[in-house]
Chains A and B, each alone.
Chain A
Amino acid sequence: MVGEMLKKFFKKIFSNIFGQKRELKMGFYGPPNAGKTSLANRICKDFTGEEMGSVSKVPHETRSVQFKEKVEISYKGKKMTFKMIDTPGIATKIDYEDFLKFKMKKKDAKTRAKEATQGIVESIKWLDDVDIVVIVLDATENPYNQVNITIVGNLVARKIPVLIVANKIDLRKANIKKIESAFPEYDVVGISARYGKNLEEFYESIFKLAKKI
């Protein structure tokens, strides 16, 4: 823990001394199918014209950590450069039979399950190497899920600034208040990554979050 703090301190000092433009590592974390890749795609599309990864209704579409370097986000005249890190959704169980419901062949479902478990291990490893984290939650789902609590707890323990995004607010079942009451100590921004709704507030929150480092 102390080592991590010292590492961050010296990194900040050196980048200030040598006037380097710092590239902040922004991790996207959350449960499967919450819309992490959709949000990362939306940001990348807005500022680089390219997307980051594929999205699907089938859970665990992102099964390895995806990166996009030097994404310069500008908001109200300010600019910041980020390395975007889109992580596979963290879960406590993976059953290949769940994928069969999406008309997937048994062999493909088993491969997907195996890759998904490896992806979760990779996501967890990356917790040690991010500067800020956007936790993407599905606003139509119950936020009182132990995985969400564990991820937030880990980030708090590592003193990594966190922004909670309540995604899918375009859906009727969406309930931002429930997410706010589950995580009252954090800023919660309601967005629709799919339709690009309320992204201005999201970008503003990202700039605020980056200042906390």
Chain B
Amino acid sequence: MAQKKNLGKIRGFSIQFLPYSELKDLNSTERVKKILGIILGNVILIIQGKLETEEETRLIGDTMAMIGHVKDFKGIELAVISGNGTSGFFDKFRTGMIRMIGGKNLGAVTIIGPATIVKEIKKNPKKIELLLDSKY
């Protein structure tokens, strides 16, 4: 009985990994649409690689357009970890922002979650932390 109760609690959201192969043949509009579609299902999405900068901006714009139109949707939390460096994921900044924004960086990982579940993503050069809403 107790086990059932616990399972009930974790049914609130899931974590999904999306390999780059799932996005590579899509155009920017389709990518953003696919990502938002997944997130709306109460999913924290971990994407292999990173979006183009323009796609990230479009993602923010489309997110804003959905707030108020989709019930209980308050937006997203988003973080990109560029994992090619040997001594930290912010080494990319030090070696050049242009390479960082190039997109298709398969050494990177993008984390996107609905703001109703992910209250905050704390980033610093040494770690990344997802703070989840206590009701989940």
What per-residue 1/0 map shows which CB atoms of B66-109 lie under 8 Å from chain A? Answer: 01100000111111100000000010011011101100000000
Which residues 160-177 in A have Cβ within 8 Å of B in the complex? none
* A93 in complex: contacting residue of B53, B56, B68, B76, CB < 8 Å: B76
Q: Determine chain B's interface SS by DSSP, over half rule.
A: mixed
Closest to A152 in B: B97
Q: Answer whether residue A196 sits at the interface, using C-beta atoms and an 8 A cutoff.
A: no
Q: Answer whether residue B63 sits at the interface, using C-beta atoms and an 8 A cutoff.
A: yes
CA distance A107 to B121 in the complex (A): 29
Closest to B73 in A: A93
Please determine whether A113 and B68 come into contact, CB atoms closer than 8 angstroms: yes
Please determine whether A144 and B124 come into contact, CB atoms closer than 8 angstroms: yes
Size category of the A interface is 20 to 34
Closest to A97 in B: B74
Please determine whether B97 and A142 come into contact, CB atoms closer than 8 angstroms: no
Q: Answer whether residue B8 sits at the interface, using C-beta atoms and an 8 A cutoff.
A: no
Q: Answer whether residue B131 sits at the interface, using C-beta atoms and an 8 A cutoff.
A: no
* A127 in complex: contacting residue of B57, B65, B121, B122, CB < 8 Å: B57
Q: Answer whether residue B54 sits at the interface, using C-beta atoms and an 8 A cutoff.
A: yes
Q: Answer whether residue A120 sits at the interface, using C-beta atoms and an 8 A cutoff.
A: yes
Q: Which residues of A contact B79 (CB under 8 A)?
A: 146
Name which of B57, B90, B122 has the most chain A CB atoms within 10 A of its CB: B57
Query: How far in angstroms is the closest Cβ of chain A from B71?
Result: 13
Please determine whether A185 and B96 come into contact, CB atoms closer than 8 angstroms: yes
Q: Which residues of A contact B26 (CB under 8 A)?
A: none
What per-residue 1/0 map shows which CB atoms of A102-128 lie under 8 Å from chain B? Answer: 000000000001100110110010010
Please determine whether B97 and A153 come into contact, CB atoms closer than 8 angstroms: yes
Please determine whether B101 and A153 come into contact, CB atoms closer than 8 angstroms: yes
Please determine whether B74 and A182 come into contact, CB atoms closer than 8 angstroms: no
Q: Answer whether residue A202 sits at the interface, using C-beta atoms and an 8 A cutoff.
A: no
Q: Which residues of A contact B97 (CB under 8 A)?
A: 152-153, 156, 185
CA distance A182 to B93 in the complex (A): 7
- Top 5 A-B pairs, shortest CB-CB distance: A93-B75, A93-B115, A153-B53, A153-B101, A117-B64
Tell me the B residues contacting A by CB distance below 8 Å: 53-54, 56-57, 60-61, 63-65, 67-68, 74-80, 90, 93-94, 96-98, 100-101, 115, 121-125
